């Protein structure tokens, strides 16, 4: 359930603007106040406790889980954005919560592995590889 | 800040949707007070996991947050079924949560372990059929 976007830590990887992530994932923007925000690392998981356990840097979450706890998890981790994979679209309650917290939501039709792989190949890392 | 700030939050066990609201409020309060981002993040994550546990296992409860200049003490208390084996419950990957909880993104057996991971001190008191108290401390 947890797909980390790292090889050797964050070596050779750099921050990426959200607008480039949207382009790479051919994603639809559900809510976003600032597409120029810098994303430092990313984490792909459908289990929120795994994200809560391992995400250390200011990161973006990719997930197939669509419920308000996705946004809550992002809030606790100071994540500026959440990507819903497999074309999932959140309901109005989730979008409302994201707006209140200032967390961008985007949706891509790519599956989890492909979405993570496309971002990693373009230079976005997964942060530290320490567990 | 020079004086202790005390806040109490009720955690509803009826609705998974609202789990995390109290943690969000504490996080906002700590930001307002001017705590370090690292301490705020650790408090928020640990308290959030505690809230989720209360909703999943204990039909809610309450949280008491005591904010001092140098530390934050949090008590999460419920009147749920209690924890039979605290040592086992602390192990990463051990969970008694039903499958439907896993479909909501939790119940992977990481909750208590995450609370310990992010806090400077943690103590659990639990009695079967009576309830559970989890005390956590994060230093600034």
Task: Look at residue A75 and tell me whether its pLDDT is greater than 50.
Answer: yes
Structure tokens at A119: 């971002």
Task: Look at residue A123 and tell me whether its pLDDT is greater than 60.
Answer: yes
Structure confidence at residue A129 (pLDDT) = 64
Mean of the pLDDT values across residues B107-124? 94
Interatomic CA distance for residues B7 and A2, integer angstroms:
35
Interface test with A, best of B18, B103, B105, B110 (most A CBs within 10 A): B105
A128 against B94, higher pLDDT: B94
What's A38's domain CATH number? 3.40.1390.20
Inform me whether the C-beta atom of residue B23 falls under 8 Å from chain A C-beta atoms: yes
- Count chain A–chain B contacts defined by CB atoms under 8 A: 71
Q: What percent of chain A has pLDDT over 90?
A: 77
Long-range CB contact pairs, B68-71, < 8 A, 24+: B68/B4, B69/B1, B69/B2, B69/B140, B70/B139, B70/B140, B71/B120, B71/B137, B71/B138, B71/B139, B71/B140
Structure confidence at residue A126 (pLDDT) = 85
B113 against A11, higher pLDDT: B113
Structure confidence at residue A103 (pLDDT) = 97
Q: What are phi and psi of B5, to 5 degrees?
A: -115, 130
Structure tokens at B50: 């505690």
Domain boundaries of chain B, sorted by first residue: 5-139
Inform me whether the C-beta atom of residue A72 falls under 8 Å from chain B C-beta atoms: yes
Distance between A76 CA and the closest CA of chain B, angstroms: 6
Inform me whether the C-beta atom of residue A34 falls under 8 Å from chain B C-beta atoms: no
DSSP bridge partners of A44: A3, A62
Dump pLDDT digits (tens) for B81-90: 999 999 999 9
Of B65, B41, B42, B63, give the one whose Cα is nearest residue B52. B63
Q: Do B44 and A50 touch (CB under 8 A)?
A: no
Dump pLDDT digits (tens) for A17-45: 999 999 999 999 999 999 999 999 999 99
Dump pLDDT digits (tens) for B48-60: 999 999 999 999 9
Quick one: how many helices (H) and strands (E) in chain A?
5, 8
Structure confidence at residue A1 (pLDDT) = 46
Inform me whether the C-beta atom of residue A93 falls under 8 Å from chain B C-beta atoms: yes
Neighbours of A113 (CB within 10 A): 11
Task: Look at residue B12 and tell me whether its pLDDT is greater than 80.
Answer: yes
Residue A76 belongs to some domain of the structure: yes
Which domain range does residue A101 map to?
Answer: 3-121
Average pLDDT, chain A: 89
Task: Look at residue B67 and tell me whether its pLDDT is greater than 60.
Answer: yes
Dump pLDDT digits (tens) for A96-107: 999 999 999 999
Average pLDDT, chain B: 93
Structure confidence at residue A7 (pLDDT) = 41
Q: Point out the least confidently predicted range of A45-59, A110-124, B15-29, B46-60.
A: A45-59
Residue A128 belongs to some domain of the structure: no
Structure tokens at A35: 């597409």
Of B106, B120, B105, B111, give the one whose Cα is nearest residue B92. B111
Mean of the pLDDT values across residues B112-122? 95
ipTM value: 0.91
Interatomic CA distance for residues A26 and A15, integer angstroms:
19
Structure confidence at residue B15 (pLDDT) = 79
Q: Do A47 and B52 touch (CB under 8 A)?
A: no
CATH 3.30.565.10 corresponds to the domain B5-139: yes
Distance between B102 CA and the closest CA of chain A, angstroms: 8
Q: pTM for this structure?
A: 0.91
Structure confidence at residue B2 (pLDDT) = 76
Residue A127 belongs to some domain of the structure: no
Structure confidence at residue A128 (pLDDT) = 67
Q: Which residue of B has its CA nearest to A50?
A: B110
Interatomic CA distance for residues A77 and A45, integer angstroms:
14
């Amino acid at each position: 359930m947890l797909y980390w976007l790292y090889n050797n830590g964050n070596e050779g990887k750099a921050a990426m603007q959200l607008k480039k992530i949207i382009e790479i994932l051919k994603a639809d923007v559900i809510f976003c106040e600032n597409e120029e925000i810098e994303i430092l690392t990313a984490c792909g998981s459908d289990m929120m406790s795994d994200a809560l356990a391992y995400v250390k840097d200011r990161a973006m979450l990719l997930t197939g889980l669509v419920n308000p706890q996705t946004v809550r998890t992002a809030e606790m981790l100071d994540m500026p954005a959440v990507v819903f994979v497999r074309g999932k679209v959140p309901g109005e309650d989730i979008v409302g919560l994201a707006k209140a917290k200032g967390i961008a939501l985007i949706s891509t039709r790519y599956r989890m592995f492909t979405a993570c792989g496309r971002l990693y190949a373009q230079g976005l890392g997964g942060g530290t590889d320490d567990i | 800040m020079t004086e202790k700030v005390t806040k109490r939050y009720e955690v509803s066990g009826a609705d998974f949707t609202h789990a995390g609201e109290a943690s969000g409020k504490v996080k906002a309060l700590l930001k307002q007070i001017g705590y370090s981002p690292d301490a705020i993040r650790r408090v928020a994550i640990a308290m959030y996991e505690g809230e989720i546990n209360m909703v999943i296992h204990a039909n809610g409860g309450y949280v008491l947050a005591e904010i001092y200049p140098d530390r934050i003490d949090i008590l999460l208390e419920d009147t749920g079924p209690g924890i039979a084996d605290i040592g086992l419950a602390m192990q990463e990957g051990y969970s008694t949560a039903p499958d439907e909880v896993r479909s909501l993104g939790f119940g992977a057996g990481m909750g208590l372990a995450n609370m310990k991971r992010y806090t400077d001190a943690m103590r659990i008191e639990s009695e079967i059929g009576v309830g559970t108290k989890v005390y956590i401390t994060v230093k600034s």
